[in-house]
Copies of this chain bind each other. A is one copy, B any other.
Amino acid sequence: MEDQPLYDFTSPPLLVVLSGPSGVGKDTLLQKLQEYGYEFCFVVTMTTRPPRPNEVHGKDYLFVNKDEFARLMMMDEFLEHSVVYGDYKGIPKDQVRKALASGKDVLMRIDVQGAAKVHKIVPNAVTIFLTTETEGELVSRLSERKTETSDGLAIRIATTREEMKRLDEFDYVVINREGQQDDAVKQILSIISAEHCRVHRRPISL
């Protein structure tokens, strides 16, 4: 008699949403996840704003004109989209589908409002809220960026306070402590590893 597997142990690719207030360190963590050898497909956001110097189409953003964006909106081809300072940005479903088809986990970096929307549409997405421990830490990081005016900073702090209220809509919360980024990376990797062991994991379809 041939020895059969006791169970179908294959785990489909995860859809992982990394979110949190701006300045919390999402981009650095994404880079570190790669450095740790975690292989994933990253979904690039589509935007109608013009590229900044050094920004690469397909890597940083997908840059399209408003007509093209509107066409995809009409076809319900965005997982989520929003208007930021008069420009549109959104996650094209097709990008996510292609990424999932690769067989690798799919990671997306989305703002808190967008992430909450995605979680409603795709309940079995894994949503991670990245935060600093205190508001002070966040403020000092944003100040260090020096790209913020004091007005801009005040708006970001107010936004963060609103965003913290939505934490309950997420699956996991990870604290990105100053000088302890590796702990945050390891926690995210633990979450991903654990989610692959879930019994009720079903493939994601959009």
The residues of A with any CB-CB pair to B shorter than 8 Å are: 3-7, 9, 128-129, 131-138, 160, 164, 167-168, 170-175, 186-187, 189-191, 193-195, 197-200
Contact B199 A171 (CB under 8 A): yes
Taking CB atoms, residues of chain B closer than 8 Å to A198 are: 171-173
Say which residue of B5, B132, B167, B199 sits within 8 Å of A133 (CB atoms).
Answer: B5
Q: What would 24 A/B residue contacts be, using CB atoms closer than 8 Å?
A: A3-B134, A3-B136, A3-B137, A4-B135, A5-B133, A5-B134, A6-B132, A6-B133, A6-B138, A6-B164, A7-B164, A7-B167, A168-B199, A168-B200, A172-B194, A172-B197, A172-B198, A173-B197, A173-B198, A187-B193, A189-B190, A190-B190, A190-B194, A193-B194
Q: How far is the CA of A197 from the CA of B20 in the complex (A)?
A: 14
Q: Which residue of A129, A186, A189, A194 has the most chain B CB atoms within 10 A of its CB atom? A: A194
Say which residue of B3, B129, B194 sits within 8 Å of A199 (CB atoms).
Answer: B129
With A6-B134, A164-B6 as known contacts, state yes or no: A199 contacts B187, CB within 8 Å: no
Contact A9 B173 (CB under 8 A): yes
Instruction: Looking at the assembled complex, report how far the CB atom of A65 sits from the nearest CB atom of chain B, in whole angstroms.
Output: 39
Taking CB atoms, residues of chain B closer than 8 Å to A3 are: 134-137
Instruction: Looking at the assembled complex, report how far the CB atom of A60 sits from the nearest CB atom of chain B, in whole angstroms.
Output: 28
Say which residue of B136, B168, B174, B199 sits within 8 Å of A172 (CB atoms).
Answer: B199
Taking CB atoms, residues of chain B closer than 8 Å to A164 are: 6-7
Taking CB atoms, residues of chain B closer than 8 Å to A135 are: 3-4, 6
Taking CB atoms, residues of chain B closer than 8 Å to A4 are: 134-135
Instruction: Looking at the assembled complex, report how far the CB atom of A37 sits from the nearest CB atom of chain B, in whole angstroms.
Output: 14
Q: How far is the CA of A137 from the CA of B190 in the complex (A)?
A: 27
Contact A197 B193 (CB under 8 A): no
Q: How far is the CA of A57 from the CA of B131 in the complex (A)?
A: 46
Contact A187 B197 (CB under 8 A): yes
Q: How far is the CA of A160 from the CA of B131 in the complex (A)?
A: 44
